[in-house]
Chain A
């Protein structure tokens, strides 16, 4: 972020943070719970002496909290990792090793790079066949293509519980059942779902589930992989006996304690937060569409996370919108090519076949329980001016305004 724009002095009002799908603020109670484990409780839980003893108990307690949040049957089904990316890598690599007769993966076109890049790597280096299932314009999985891709060659299916850009929720219990019928393992990247919607993983056929602490007010650098009891698992990191030999390396005790506390808080708040957050989100969405023309909501409005709104503003580009919003003290994100270092347009928007003049102007607002009605008011006040300013600059917009259709026809390099 450009240094000059991060100074609070440049913002006219209280900064509005609406990028909670990127990361969240660590809950003060989580920080407080973690602090003793940096200092007086610094012991290694593997040690025999008193310094380690208390720590082991605290880790067990944290594991139990996370078990409750997920609705897992046993606490030992939880393996702590460094985060969503490690969990995803572990799950895919383990499945291929555990089922040597199967050499195919089924996944979707809108997965996070922590899945897609691993699949690409496995296809390139190990000759794994990867079926990438497409989605419709609302980001819903092509069930027919999914059914066809399943066979006795498939080692693992990996489908996200909820999409990070649009919030669209996949029918994971049904999808997992279908995978089971084909004898494949079923993994879900639930990084965006955990802590935002109620989960009861024991009631599903899900074999493995990835999550990340910092997406629900826990610390960064800690996450977990849920591995259903009885599922064969080959560790990614080999070494010590930690996590019952499924993830070597001395436990990140403060992180684990923080994740446990964040799980406890999320579970306690879920029933009241979700409806309140979704009301704020709906008010923002409605208000934006009322005030600004040539804009539409992307994703599946009938099945999505309560906290995520993704609105595409036609004929303008996302990075420019974000820079102007940032100046107005509002933090959001965009699927625009230009906001990522890679220059690749958002693969999610492309998979949903959103026209590029709209996909580049897609803005994601992601809420948390910390957001208020005042935040929504502030965005609704700022956004029309931002959009108007950029549309005045846009060659697509002036032609559109003059003739009703976009006639601007540049030579593409």
Chain B
């Protein structure tokens, strides 16, 4: 059975803000096929200040779906819509003290419901373009659809490159065969469509055996294109041309940002150390409780987010072996 935190249990057994909100003026209804979950988020927003005065939810779903929904209502209450929109699914998971990797999509559902509710209030139509396929990499929550898209868009033909682009397989590596399957299948389709040459395509079982532990060393042969698949969404500010910095300035900034985060990490029994900066990649060493934590993907994306906010650079945090 699932290893839920006490906070998840508390928010499931005694959910806050459950039920109908009669005078709601921002309603988001979303569902996730994978788990057969559905969530209705109801907000009462002050039209003048756009401040969320009240929030309630109804959820069809498992324990963590109900807890995530309840956590979401607690998080958004009192915030303005713009403030609330800055919340990510990681904030919901963090609020609950973490979720099992297989249950991260419950927090994603909360994030989507919030987006949908705000769109509803503003008279926009919210459309989710994220399709969910079978979960391949549980450590980083990468599903089959995400892999296929990354492989296609970036013409990936090796396991190493797939890990480089999506993180999939970069942690426990038990999903390597699953990734290879998707890679072989997608490459075969791409050969048929004339997108890549036949001798470039990945064929399962042809690669070197037992090299899965090696961390990606080569840079991808393909230049990063505009539709480069990234798991993290940077805000518009970060999409603006990055400021020109010398390498030393960059290292200093990154060092500073990591330094600010270290007390928090240390409190949880972990630590993070800057190893190298290679182009846009920030190589860090996670130690202690962080390195083997199921939520290390959260830690990585948390570090990445803060780095990006501080440096205004589209940096990509890559954990490397100690």
Contacts and interface: CB of A to CB of B under 8 A. Distances in A.
A408 B36 contact: no
Interface residues of A, number: 37
A345 B9 CA distance: 23
B147 interface: no
B13 A327 contact: yes
Interface string B11-41: 0110100111000000001111111111110
Interface string A322-357: 011001000000001111010101000000000011
A398 B58 CA distance: 9
Contacts of B3: 2
Q: Identify the interface centre among A323, A339, A395, A413: most chain B CB within 10 Å of its CB.
A: A413
Contacts of B15: 393
Contacts of A392: 18-19
Given A2-B4, A320-B63, A398-B58, A411 B36 contact: no
A122 B29 CA distance: 42
Given A317-B36, A337-B35, A345-B36, A395 B128 contact: no
Contact of B126 (A327, A360, A411): A411
Interface residues of B, number: 46
A393 B36 contact: no
Contact of A338 (B20, B59, B61, B131): B61
Interface string B39-53: 110000000000000
A221 to B, nearest CB: 21
Contacts of B34: 337, 343
24 contacts: A315-B60, A317-B36, A317-B61, A320-B12, A327-B13, A336-B36, A337-B36, A338-B35, A338-B62, A338-B64, A338-B103, A339-B1, A339-B62, A343-B102, A393-B59, A393-B60, A395-B39, A395-B40, A398-B58, A410-B29, A411-B30, A412-B32, A413-B33, A413-B131
B125 to A, nearest CB: 10
A64 to B, nearest CB: 39
A395 to B, nearest CB: 4
> Interface on chain B toward A: helix, strand, loop, or mixed SS?
mixed
Interface string B122-160: 000011101110010000000000000000000000000
Nearest to B19: A392
Nearest to A411: B30
B272 interface: no
B307 interface: no
Contacts of B66: 320, 393
A394 interface: yes
Contacts of A338: 35-37, 61-65, 103
B12 A323 contact: yes
Contacts of A315: 60
Interface of A: 1-2, 4-5, 315-320, 323-324, 327, 336-339, 341, 343, 345, 356-357, 359-360, 392-398, 408-413
A413 B61 contact: no
Contacts of A360: 36, 60
A69 to B, nearest CB: 32
Given A4-B9, A411-B116, A413-B130, A319 B36 contact: no
A319 B131 contact: no
A316 B60 contact: yes
Contacts of B112: 413
A315 B128 CA distance: 24
B62 A394 contact: no
A412 B33 contact: yes
A152 B60 CA distance: 49
B6 interface: yes
